[in-house]
Amino acid sequence: MSESRLVVALDITDRERAIRIARSLGKNVFAIKINWPLVLAGSGSVIGDIAKISRVVCDFKIADIPNTNSIIARFARDQGAWGIISHSFTGLESLRSVVEASGDMKVFSVVAMSHPGADLINGNYERLMDISERAGVYGYIAPGNRLSDLSKIRKRTMKMIMSPGIGSQGGKAADAIKAGADLVIVGRSIYESADPLAAAEAINAEIAKAADLP
């Protein structure tokens, strides 16, 4: 069986619930994405707890001066995160500080966003990608509910693209994969489901069909 291309976002504040959902999903996901709400409600150690179950992507969207960025990236790395998400609009030195502090942790750069009103970022994706390439990022965040933007970004890079905006924000996993996403991020459609595992398996099946996977 091919590895899942699904990243599940646990944008919740209940630590025990997050760990319970992560355990229920097991190997049926590529990674679990956690955000500031879960860390702020408990402690950063939740990163390590979930990392024992699955890869963890820290969606911290880092956007500060280089020194602060480095502190955040090192913390996530030391807790066992597989990947971390950083903004790129703060400039080359700020983004490079994340890459340098991350070691083997994968850095994903936000170059377009999935929510309404993100035109300032989305309209400058080419400049943001140029900064990101110079900084040495591992991959990109590009919206799965804005297929035109996603396709344009895919044409400019062979690096890994992780796409949010699936499910509650209107995007479809199959469409995002066809437009160039390597991984799709789904949150509320899974963690608000009565059966998160069944919801994840359904999305995995949709992705496999779109990508012609066995």
Catalytic residues: 61
- Classified as helix, coil or strand, 182 is coil
CB neighbourhood size of 52 (10 A): 11
Which among 111, 117, 198, 205 has a CA at the least distance from the CA of 149? 111
Alpha helix segments (H runs only) across the chain: 15-25, 36-41, 45-51, 66-79, 92-102, 119-122, 125-135, 147-155, 173-179, 188-191, 196-211
The DSSP secondary-structure symbol of 192 reads T
State CA 54 to chain mean position distance.
14
Cβ-Cβ contacts under 8 Å for 68 (sequence gap 6 or more): none
